[in-house]
């Protein structure tokens, strides 16, 4: 990280407020490197391109009064409670070669190793301790700035994780719910010497920022803007659930780069509405792609030509143009 890291806390456990706080800092603090540490209480956070209703166990969510909120980064759905600590890095994006997960996961892995843990980065966006997943990460780019954030499962309730989410049977074929749960671990259970979450929080803050930590707060005017963003975006049904068009075709595929589901409405041979869902690791908003596809003839060559005008890894992560077209035009 940089010589001087600006450190902020949200002072809240509301997921709607916390995600608004994070986005506000990304949008408005245009210089320097920022570290945020924060917690959500009893919440499912879904990726920006996921179908919320398909990701949650609705009956369980309502019974346990679990919050559901959509974040602005890609990846899959995760459950947060007060045994989980979230971190956010915000910095200049730099050139495309620097848009790697490793740039930000390395300091987390080193901090965990500093506690005597067998930590490593793994797969597309995970951090493991002794082979168990303790962190999932995602990132996005906005106007030359990058947000990279992740979870740190310290002492979370694994039964809530299992009950709150609808596990995609295709993704975990031939694996029981038990085996899915066993992939997740809590950092506290691996510590050579026990510590509580406040002590872990204090350690992580110093480990990630070093001697260049500058503890700061947002102004009253900035906090007002955060609350406005919370109310107009993150705490609305339209943002969290209302992103699915009426459709005439739907299909879903699983690739190495993640799952991809498409729903498209076609009228007089042209696309009138289209939405892509999935846990692929996008770093930019899908709206630019879907807007460009509206009005496009629903033919592989025409859709492919539109896709060619975009840097697809920004929007679909590791999913390729050929895989997108396969999902659209080769329906089982």
What is the model's pLDDT at position 86?
Answer: 97
Same fold, 5-237 and 249-329: no
What is the model's pLDDT at position 179?
Answer: 34
DSSP codes joined into one string, 69-113? EE-SS-S--EEE-TTEEEEEEEEE--SGGG--THHHHHHHHHHHH
What CATH number does the domain located at 5-237 have?
3.30.930.10
Centroid of chain to Cα 243: 17
Domain limits of the chain?
Answer: 5-237, 249-329
Asked if residue 88 lies in contact with residue 135, where contact means CB atoms within 8 angstroms, the answer is no
Q: Which two tokens stand for residue 262?
A: 């498409």
Q: Which residues pair with 239 in a beta bridge?
A: none
CATH class of 249-329: alpha beta
- Per-residue pLDDT 10s for the chain (332 aa) are 456 899 999 999 999 999 999 999 999 999 999 999 999 999 999 999 888 878 888 888 889 999 999 999 998 889 999 999 999 999 988 765 556 777 889 999 999 999 999 999 987 788 999 999 999 899 998 988 999 999 999 999 988 877 888 765 555 443 333 334 447 899 999 999 999 999 999 999 999 886 688 999 999 999 999 999 999 999 998 899 876 666 678 899 999 999 999 999 988 888 999 999 999 999 999 999 999 999 999 989 999 999 999 999 999 999 999 999 999 988 65
CA atoms within a 13 Å half-sphere pointing along the CA-CB vector of 162: 13
How far is 35 from 210, CA to CA, in rounded Å? Answer: 12
The set of residues, in sequence order, having a beta carbon less than 8 Å from that of 27 and lying 6+ positions away, is: 142, 143
Helix (H, G, I), strand (E, B) or coil at 299: coil
What is the model's pLDDT at position 176?
Answer: 35
Asked if residue 90 lies in contact with residue 78, where contact means CB atoms within 8 angstroms, the answer is no
What is the model's pLDDT at position 286?
Answer: 94
DSSP codes joined into one string, 227-266? HHHIIIIITSHHHHT------SEEEEEEETTEEEEEEEEE
What is the model's pLDDT at position 101?
Answer: 73
Quote the strand ranges of the chain, DSSP E. 5-9, 33-38, 43-46, 67-70, 78-80, 84-92, 119-122, 126-129, 132-142, 145-153, 213-215, 249-255, 258-267, 270-277
């Amino acid at each position: 990280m940089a010589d001087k890291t600006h450190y902020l806390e949200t002072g809240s456990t509301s997921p709607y407020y916390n995600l608004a706080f994070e986005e506000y800092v990304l949008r408005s603090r245009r210089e320097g490197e920022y570290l945020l540490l924060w917690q959500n209480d009893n919440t499912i956070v879904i990726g920006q391109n996921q179908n919320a209703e398909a990701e949650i166990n609705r009956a369980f969510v309502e019974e346990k009064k679990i919050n559901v909120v959509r974040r602005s980064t890609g990846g899959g759905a995760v459950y947060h409670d007060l045994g989980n600590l979230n971190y956010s890095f915000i910095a200049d994006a730099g050139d495309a070669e620097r848009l790697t997960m490793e740039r930000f996961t390395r300091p987390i892995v080193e901090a965990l190793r500093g506690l005597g843990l067998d930590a490593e980065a793994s797969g597309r966006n995970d951090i493991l301790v002794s082979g168990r997943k303790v962190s999932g990460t995602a990132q996005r780019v906005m106007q030359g700035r990058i947000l990279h954030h992740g979870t740190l499962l310290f002492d979370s309730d694994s039964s809530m994780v299992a009950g709150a989410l609808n596990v995609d049977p295709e993704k975990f074929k031939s694996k029981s719910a038990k085996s899915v749960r066993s992939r997740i671990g809590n950092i506290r259970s691996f510590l050579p010497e026990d510590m509580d979450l406040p002590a872990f929080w204090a350690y992580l803050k110093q480990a990630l920022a070093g001697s260049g930590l500058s503890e700061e707060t947002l102004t009253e005017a900035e906090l007002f803007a955060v609350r406005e963003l919370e109310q107009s975006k993150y705490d609305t049904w339209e943002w969290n659930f209302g992103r699915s068009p009426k459709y005439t075709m739907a299909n879903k595929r699983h690739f190495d780069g993640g799952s991809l589901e498409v729903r498209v409405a076609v009228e007089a041979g042209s696309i009138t509405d289209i939405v892509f869902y999935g846990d692929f690791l996008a770093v930019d908003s899908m709206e630019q792609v879907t807007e460009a596809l509206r009005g496009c003839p629903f033919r592989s060559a025409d859709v492919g030509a539109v896709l060619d005008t975009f840097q697809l890894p920004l929007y679909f992560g590791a999913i390729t143009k050929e895989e997108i077209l396969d999902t659209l035009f080769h329906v089982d």
